[in-house]
Structure 1
Amino acid sequence: MLSATQKQQFADDGYLVIDPQIDSATLDGVRERIGNGLLLADGEGNSRTQDAWKLDPGVRDIALAPTVEAILAELHGRKARAFQTLNFRVGTQQPVHSDTIHFNSDPAGCMCGVWVALEDIDENNGAVVYYPGSHKLPEARMAEVFAEPDLGARRAPPPQGAMTWVRRLAGRNPVFATARNYPLYEEYIARLVCRLELKPALATIRKGQAFIWAANLLHGGSITRDPLRTRHSQVTHYYFEGARYHRPLLNEDGKVRYFKPAWIV
């Protein structure tokens, strides 16, 4: 299905633009029902709907597109399994990050994201910004962030209180100050980009195209130059079979806690 050139590009650059072969009626239906209907706003002020596949069969169909699953299996040598969808009406302008801080695996690299355009996306309506080849950098964990003297000095301590001790006694994951410490990670990544003089690129893709990125590729949301325009799109995150999965932001103490994702079926 993929050429040797396409496979090599993904290996070298950490991304690939493909035709997911999703019919236009499905794309239009999701854009209308989710983008213009059920859209919510997350805690960071970014307009998006998470896991709308539970509500809308079109979102599920995009996430489970056979062509996408086949291409991901070719690229990773394992079967892909979708576990999260995010639907957007406008660009996020999200700071640059790597998905490995949110979703990781053992062995590493058994995760990826796929961004499907529900309308044409260009440099003016909030295309994804990414850094080709950055997936080859060492994964940045919170330990590296806190090791920076000034960032570590601003680290928020874990919450204390009765519920914290109840969780510990029950053997459940401890509670960390994730929301307060995550901006330190974003600052760390911004410094990394500047120090290494990484060159950005924009994922300007047409309606119906899909942008695949490797787990550790640095990416974010570009500036929306035309605030009157929408940027209808859907992201699906995938893990790959035969690995163990964890969320590094929940492992601030360095102990890896594996979990079982809720698969999209």
Structure 2
Amino acid sequence: MLTPEQKQQFDDQGYLVIDPQIDTAVIDGVVERIGNGLLLGDGPDQQRIADAWRRDAGARQIAKAPAVLAILEELYGRKPLPFQTLNFRVGTQQKEHSDTVHFNAAPAGYMCGVWVALEDIDENNGAVIYYPGSHKLREWNMADVFAEPDLGARRPKPLYPPLSPKALRHRLKGLGPLLDTTAEYTLYEEFIQRQLPKMGIPPALATIRKGQAFVWAANLLHGGSRRNDLSRTRHSQVSHYYFEGCKYHRPLLNSDGKTRYFKPDWVV
């Protein structure tokens, strides 16, 4: 399905634009029901809907599109397993990050994202901004963040004493200490902003047409570009994938340095 040139590009640059072969009626239905209907939006402005696949067959179809699954298996040599969907009505303008801080695997690298354009996306309505080739940089984690003296000094303390009943119950569930992950992630974003000028990699915009998809490797630095036209929407769906035969963990939830594996809720 993929040409040798496409495989080489993904290996060298960490991204690929593909045709996910999703029916237009499915796309338009998701826009109408989720993008315009804003099913139980989980963001403060209700512009992002997490895991709509649980309630909407169209979102589930996009995440499990046969062409997408076949392409990912070609790229990674393992069966892809979708585990999360995010639907957007407008661009996020989110600061640059690597998905490896949120979702990671052992062996490393077996995670990726696929962003499907549910309408035309250009430089004015908040296209994804990304740094080609940045996936080859080492994975920056919270230990790197806290190693910066000023960021480490601002590291939030656990929400509860380590031997308190709440903290102990949390650990019994296999989770890390009860931490303010929102505050920790803000420090991570500051750290990444410091790295961008040091990389020597110019950013690019994923300007893709309705029905196209942008595939990126887990460690590719990316974010949401500026919304130059605030009157426009940017209907899109991101699906995240792990791969078969791996162990899965969430580094941001385990910023004490211990790796605690978990079982994802697979898209079924």
Aligned ranges 1:148-227 → 2 under 5 Å:
148-160=148-160, 162-167=164-169, 170=172, 172-173=174-175, 174-227=177-230
**More off after superposition, 31-40 vs 199-208:** 31-40
Contact kept? 2:134, 2:221, Cα under 8 Å: yes
Distance 2:169 2:147 in 1: 27
Cα displacement (A) at 1:253? 1.0
Contact kept? 1:35, 1:89, Cα under 8 Å: yes
Contact kept? 1:39, 1:47, Cα under 8 Å: no
Letter in 1 for 2:84: Q
**Residue 158 to residue 256, structure 1, CA distance change in 2 (3 Å):** same
Contact kept? 1:46, 1:92, Cα under 8 Å: no
Answering whether residue 115 of structure 2 is matched by residue 110 of structure 1, we say no
Count of aligned residue pairs for this structure pair: 265
Answering whether residue 261 of structure 2 is matched by residue 255 of structure 1, we say no
**Of the candidates 239, 246, 268, which is equivalent to residue 236 of structure 1?**
239
**Residue 168 to residue 38, structure 1, CA distance change in 2 (3 Å):** closer
Distance 1:79 1:23 in 2: 23
User: Matched residue of 1:7: which SS?
Assistant: helix
For structure 1, the residue ranges without an aligned partner over 5 or more in a row are none
**Residue 40 to residue 223, structure 1, CA distance change in 2 (3 Å):** farther
Distance 2:154 2:144 in 1: 14
Cα displacement (A) at 1:263? 0.4
Cα displacement (A) at 1:172? 3.8
Aligned ranges 1:1-265 → 2 under 5 Å:
1-43=1-43, 45=45, 47-160=47-160, 162-167=164-169, 170=172, 172-173=174-175, 174-265=177-268
Question: If the length of structure 2 is used for normalisation, what is the TM-score?
Answer: 0.95
User: Matched residue of 2:36: which SS?
Assistant: helix
**More off after superposition, 92-101 vs 160-169:** 160-169
**Residue 24 to residue 144, structure 1, CA distance change in 2 (3 Å):** same
Cα displacement (A) at 1:44? 6.0
Cα displacement (A) at 1:40? 4.5
Contact kept? 1:105, 1:244, Cα under 8 Å: yes
User: Matched residue of 2:231: which SS?
Assistant: coil
**Residue 131 to residue 44, structure 1, CA distance change in 2 (3 Å):** farther
Cα displacement (A) at 1:164? 3.2
Q: Which runs of 4+ in 1 moved over 3 A?
A: 39-46, 161-166, 168-172
Letter in 1 for 2:187: L
**Residue 169 to residue 22, structure 1, CA distance change in 2 (3 Å):** closer
Distance 1:182 1:23 in 2: 37
**Residue 194 to residue 36, structure 1, CA distance change in 2 (3 Å):** same
